[in-house]
Structures are given as structure tokens and as C-alpha cells.
Amino acid sequence: MNTDEPKTLPLIRRYTYGVGHVLNDLCASMWFSYLLLYFHQVLNFNNAIAGYLMFLGQVTDGICTPLVGYESDREDISCRYGKRKTWHLIGTLCVTGSFVFIFNECIGCHDGTSSMVMFIYYAPFIVIFQFGWASTQIAHLALLPDLTSNKSERTELNAIRYAFTIISNILVYVICWVLIDAVMVSKNGNLSPADKPQFMQLSFIVVGIGLVFAFIFHIGTKEKPSGVHGYSGGDSIQVNSPIKKPMKWRCWLKQSQFHQVALVYMCARLMVNISQVYIPMYLLESLKLNKDSIAIIPLVVYVSSFVASTFVKFLNDHLGRKITYGLGALLVLGACIGFYIQNIGKYVYIPTVLLGIGGSTVLVTSLSMTADLINLNTENCAFVYGAMSFTDKLSNGIAIAVIQQMHPCKTSACCAKCAWFYRDILSFVPGAAAVLSLLVLLTLIPVNIGKRDGVTPDDVTDDERKALLSGTTNKELYDSYNQPASNATA
């Protein structure tokens, strides 16, 4: 690996980029941790309809991500503001205008309003929110390869980005803990319809804080003008200059490593998201803990994740992507085994810490693998990130919809069977995703991620560069490999 390449971004620019996903992260934390809990135990939806609402959101997000990615790559509609930042701004406005309605009581509804009417009321807000979330996410991810081509710096930007994701989750759980403890409405320690104000206040606080960080991102992050190429004229380029062959979106689908990395990323998201969705129910129904545990235990998960994120870059640099990801998946597998143990009681903190460290490791590393896959082909990087996110959102949505259909209690009230049901879900679903990711990782062992015909990855040798340059003039090779994406053939 080429470790001598200098870093290109000032420290302040790295952090202004890193905070660009905070609004999404705050909202996602509430979405995954509390949506099913809110609709099931506070609004008294039955399990199936609550699952359908989350499924609707995940499918909307899954469909929007590749479409937004394609449009973001195809055309600059920004009037020189930056096509990535323009889509980020559109997404921010959609998230801000819709999210608070999801965690507020249905306007005009009453105790006798049917679940189907309430479903129709909430569905449009969820669709708008997920479109906005997808737009912000893809624009933010696609901006990363444009900011730097340095592998180590890309890993650092992913680590900073994920560190703010963790901080955002911690913030949500701390605020939730304060709100729940400040107003102990349900004397038996369980959630009830009387807890609606806490979720409403939490949603407004989340959006307000997120908007502050979105403003910092837009002020502090400078996007390179689209269409800028590295060649500055003359008849030659240096042997150590990066060279590439432009890739159209459909050409990515013919790359086997594209599908392998997508599966690895999908599994990482399944491990983290399914755990995040079902830990609150596991705590309340399986372990019979008080309702403040739905803030305390997830808080432990994300504090552990934050600690882990500080050394993920070190592990990636010294052990490589594949070994680092494998270690993270094994930690998640260990956490799943711990959650399955009967009468775990206070020892639940042990698998909780393992889940936090493992989840942080697989997410940061899988995003770094995606950046390696894109390598120098940033002309369609938003499509690549969109496709990765499509697998993530669709798999999560289907998994949650199926799980809610399998729920032993069809009404809004839980029964004795809920205890083993949530234990099994929290153990077997993320555990299966960890095992699948390890199997896919084995197929990636002989693969140099990002190296393909017409591309020189960061760690290519000078001899390999010379071989690519042989048989043609440097300028001819540059012109053939770096023509605008709209005129290029893949």
C-alpha cells in the first residue's frame, strides 16, 4: 500500500464533512430504536401494521437511493453550488419537514380511529422522510471520494463520519433517558399512551440539533466543480499519475467484486440495524427491565462503538480491510450468543459491549471497502453507494416485515411468548448476517478490491503503471481513460 501519499484535506474540512450526516443519524437512531416501540406500545398499533410502516419506509429508501445516486452522478442542477451538496440540501429540507410528524399524534385522530386510517395518515410523512434521508445519505457518501483519493484519508473520513453517527445515537439515548426519567408517567415502569409527549419532544430536539450540524456542513465543506480532470496539458503525464477508465453505471453491475462488497455491506447493516430495532423490546419483554433501560442499554452500545471507532483506522491500516471486518463480525456473533443465554440479567452489558465494538468495526470497514471499490472512478460513485444502500434498506425492510408477521401476539398487547420471541430474533438474525458476511469475506480473500481493467489502485507498483503506459503516448492514454463520463464507453 502506498503510505507516502500526502493528505489533502485540512483538519477543519475533515470535521465539517464528518458532521454532514448528523441530522440523518439522529433521525435514524429514533427510527430504528423507537419506531416499532412507539407505534406498538404508545399508539397501540398491532405488530403487523407497525411492521408494515417500517417496511414502507425501508422500501422507499431502498428504491430512492440508486435513483438519487444516478441523478446525482448524471447532471449538476446546482447552479455551481455543487451537485452533491445540492442533493444533500434537498434531503435535509425533506427530513426536516416530515420527521416531526412521524413521532407526533395523528392530527384529527381520536381513541376510536382505526389503525388503517392512522396508517394512511403516517405513510406520506414516512415516504417523504425516507426520500430525504436517502438523498442526504447518498450525497454525503458520494462526496467522500471526490474530496480525496488517499486510501488512509478516506478511511479517516469514514471513521470521523461514523464517530459522529455514534455521538448522535448517544445524544438521542441520553435525551430519551432524561425525558423518560423526568416524567415517570407509567407507574409500573412500562411504556403507555401517556408517554406520547416525551417522543414528541424528542423528535423536535433531534431535528433542531441536526439542522445546526447541517448548516456547519454546508458552510465548511467545499465541493470540487463537476467536470474537473487532473490533466493540465502537455504531451505527457508522470508515471506515478493516477489513470483510470471511466465506468458507466451498468458496467458496475458486471463487476463480481461490486456484488461481493454489496453483500458484505448489507450484512453489516443487518447486524447493526436489526439489533438496534429489537434491543428495546428484548429489554422490556425478555428481560423485564424498566422502561429507562431502552435508553441506558443502547447508550452502552454506542459508547462502546465510539471507543471502537477510534482504533478502527489503525486496524484497517495494519491488518487490512478483510481481517478487520472478520474480527468485527466475530464480535457480533459472540454478542448474539450472549443475548441467547437464559437469565442473563445484569450481565447483559457484556454482549452489549461486544455488539457496540463489533458493529462499529464492520460498518466503518465495509464503507472503506466501498470507497476502495470505487477507487478513481468517482464519476458514478453516487450510483455505487446508492446500490449498496439499496441492498441494505431492502433487506432490513423485508426482515422486519417478516419478523413482525411471525410475532406470536397479533394485538397491541404482548403475551408470555414475547420473551423468547425477542430473544431469538436478537440472537439468530444478526448472528446469521455475521455468518453470511464471513462466508462472503472468504470469497474476497484473493481479490484486490478496486483493481480492475483500466484502473490503477493506490497500491499499484511503478512497474505496473509503466506497463499500462506502454504501447501508446501518455497523452493518448490519458485522453482515452479520462474522457468525460457522458462520452465514455465502459
pLDDT digits (tens, 9 = 90+) for 334-377: 999 999 886 666 788 899 999 999 998 998 899 888 888 887 77
Average confidence score pLDDT of the chain: 79
Percent of the chain whose predicted confidence (pLDDT) is above 90: 26
Euclidean distance between CA atoms 276 and 13, whole angstroms:
31
Q: Residue 236 gets which letter from DSSP?
A: -
Euclidean distance between CA atoms 70 and 65, whole angstroms:
9
Q: For residues 132-141, give the mean pLDDT.
A: 90
The amino acid at residue 182 is A
Q: Which residue has the higher pLDDT, 240 or 317?
A: 317
pLDDT at 417 over 70: no
pLDDT at 235 over 90: no
Q: What confidence score (pLDDT) does residue 37 get? A: 82
pLDDT at 471 over 70: no
pLDDT at 455 over 60: no
Cell of 182: 423526568
pLDDT at 446 over 50: yes
Other CB atoms within a 10 A radius of the CB of residue 317 amount to 15
Q: For residues 408-430, give the mean pLDDT.
A: 75
Helices and strands of the chain, counted as H and E runs: 16, 0
Q: Please report where in the chains the cell 433542531 appears, as a residue.
A: 208
Lowest pLDDT segment from 18-27, 402-411, 430-439: 402-411
Q: For residues 230-252, give the mean pLDDT.
A: 50
Lowest pLDDT segment from 123-137, 240-254, 266-280: 240-254
Q: Which residues contact 348 (CB under 8 A, 6 or more apart)?
A: 283, 287, 297, 338, 339
Percent of the chain whose predicted confidence (pLDDT) is above 70: 79
Distances, alpha carbon 286 to alpha carbons 49, 289, 291, in Å: 22, 8, 13
Complete domains list, the chain, with CATH: 11-220+244-477 (1.20.1250.20)
Q: What tens digit of pLDDT does each residue of 89-109 get?
A: 999 999 999 999 999 888 877
Q: What tens digit of pLDDT does each residue of 183-221 get?
A: 544 445 566 777 788 889 999 999 999 999 999 999 988
Q: What confidence score (pLDDT) does residue 481 get? A: 39
Q: Are 352 and 339 in contact (CB under 8 A)?
A: no
- To which H or E segment does residue 11 belong? helix 11-18
Distances, alpha carbon 287 to alpha carbons 224, 296, 320, in Å: 52, 14, 38
Lowest pLDDT segment from 5-14, 264-273, 316-325: 5-14
Euclidean distance between CA atoms 106 and 52, whole angstroms:
17
Closest-CA residue to 365 (of 439, 311, 432, 428): 311
Three-state DSSP class for residue 375: coil
Q: What confidence score (pLDDT) does residue 485 get? A: 38
Q: Which residue has the higher pLDDT, 382 or 266?
A: 266
Q: For residues 304-327, give the mean pLDDT.
A: 87
pLDDT at 435 over 60: yes
